Structure 1
Amino acid sequence: MFFEPSLTASTKDQNQNSVLFVLLGASNLARSFYGLKRCIKRCILPRPADFVHAMGPGRGYVIRGGIFNVTYPPILNCGILETVRNKRKKNQPIVALITDIGNDIMYGVSPEEIIAGLQHLLNAFDEFATNIFITSIPIALKNDIGEFYFRILRQIFFPKSPAEYSQTSKTIEIVNQFIL
């Protein structure tokens, strides 16, 4: 007769070795952060979870960004990789979520600069043998938002943005091709 171990059964290794989660993003991550943390902790029980994050509305990966009167340094230059190096325990597994990538586009950053920044992050996380989850930019501009609404939203959320509709659409496609 075959017996499977109970879902609540755990090994000493699972109880002692926490997983370090690195969460990088902008407003979508900021809004869901506490729920996501709670869900992750429940899903990996009995293992403990540690978290480091760089997030905030309007935050960019390669250029300073924010919304209204709040600005953030770029994720690439905010010290997150040093924090991971310093916080990581010996042989601790790392899981990274890289999401909310599109804000840099609205600040006029070229697709090449965005891709170079993402590649830098991916290379750095490879040094830690990180399990990486990266989300594409979840919009096909020409199918989802017309130019009129694009201009309204750009004026509200990114009033100083130099981004034009057609270039933004092309940049999204190029960055998503890199990600996928």
Structure 2
Amino acid sequence: MVDNRLPQNRLILLGASNLTLSLRLVTHLMQQRIGAPGEILAAVGHGRAYGVFSQVVWRGLPGIAECGLWRQLGAMESRPTYALLTDIGNDIVYELTPEQVLRAVERCIDQLQRQSAQIVVTNLPMASVERLSERRYTFFRNLFYPFCKLSRDETISRVRAVHAGLVDMAVRRQFLLVEQEAHWFGPDGIHVNYWQREAFYRDIVRRFPDSGVKPEYWDDKRKFFLTWQRRPVFAFKTVLGRAIYCPQPSGQLADESPVSKY
């Protein structure tokens, strides 16, 4: 007899602020799509970058492409794997070149394809970024990235280059790339409107194959499912320059899915 409580699959979730704010929701939607329970490996965090260490107020995190998630993934047994890469673009305001950003993303793609993962990537929200006025761009750049000195024109030029590079990479590496429409995003051009988050992520998650398996508790215990049984904490971070470590998996969902956070 198969123990239905054992992980049936593996979810890998990579992103920054948008994914951080909606981590439980995205996990729920993906498990609704492909089945549950599963192992969840997430590299998230406000201001997170793919190719460079990022510091937000007093907390620092390594670049996603260099974090401990990949070491753990390489040591795990084979399992059906589904990966979502989103929130690409913070590297630009950390003043990495488009080539550096694309190399970091491709390192992640390479590791995932070694695991035969089914991969969905969201492209940069080109339309919503381009509609930012000079005044609005400067206001939000100074608010979120006060260390950044890039002009609006230079930022948009780099965004266009990364956007085009991801289109090319999706063809070369054979993963699904999702374009993001401007109507999902708020006045800063990069954060999804709060009241649209579920619809936004539902639209992305539907790009994964539908397993046709729906847990019997899905409807009547949905609210319970969305709660943490144990909230995950970062495997490694710095706080005021001091390194802090935590063994993984550090979190667990109500359906007993283990969650590792990097």
- Deviation sequence 1:72-113 (CA, Å, 0-9, x none): 111111111112122x323x1111111111110011000000
Residue 60 of structure 1 aligns to a residue whose secondary structure is coil
Equivalenced residue count is: 167
Question: Partners in 1 of 2:90 and 2:112 — Cα distance?
Answer: 22
CA–CA distance in structure 2, aligned partners of residues 120 and 81 of structure 1 = 10
Is 1:54 matched with 2:43?
A: yes
Alpha-carbon spacing, 1:170–1:43, altered in 2? closer, same or farther (3 Å) = same
Report the 3-state secondary structure (helix = DSSP H, G, I; strand = E; otherwise coil) of the residue aligned with 2:13.
strand
Matches within 5 A, 1:51-90: 51-86=40-75, 88-90=76-78
Distance in 2 separating the partners of 1:49 and 1:134: 20
Matching residue's letter, 2:25? G
Structure 2 counterpart of 1:32, from 2, 19, 22: 22
Q: Give the alignment partner of residue 177 of structure 1, picking from 153, 157, 164.
A: 164
User: Which residue in the other structure is 2:150 paired with?
Assistant: 163
Gaps of 5+ in 1: 1-10
Is this contact kept in 2: 1:96–1:131, CA < 8 A? yes
Q: Is 2:81 the partner of 1:94?
A: yes
Alpha carbons of structure 1 residues 141 and 33: separation in structure 2 relative to 1, 3 Å: closer
The corresponding residue for 1:21 is 11
1:57 is displaced (CA, Å) by 0.5
Q: Residue in 2 aligned with 1:112?
A: 99
Distance apart, 1:145 and its partner CA? 0.4
Relative to structure 1, the CA distance from residue 14 to residue 43 in structure 2 (aligned partners, 3 Å threshold; closer, same or farther) is farther
Q: Which residue identity lines up with residue 13 of structure 2 in the other structure?
A: L
Q: Which residue of 1 aligns with 2:139?
A: 152
The structure carrying a bigger helix percent of its residues is 1
The question of whether the paired residues in 2 share the 8 Å contact of 1:61 and 1:75 is answered with yes
Q: CA deviation at 1:13?
A: 10
- The residue type paired with residue 8 of structure 2 is S
**Counterpart residue number, 1:136:** 123
Q: Distance in 2 between matches of 1:167 and 1:14?
A: 52
Task: Using structure 1 for the length normalisation, give the TM-score.
Answer: 0.84
Structure 2 residue ranges without an equivalent (≥5):
168-262
Q: Counterpart of 2:82 in 1: which secondary structure?
A: strand
- Give the TM-score normalised by the residue count of structure 2: 0.59
Q: CA deviation at 1:164?
A: 1.8
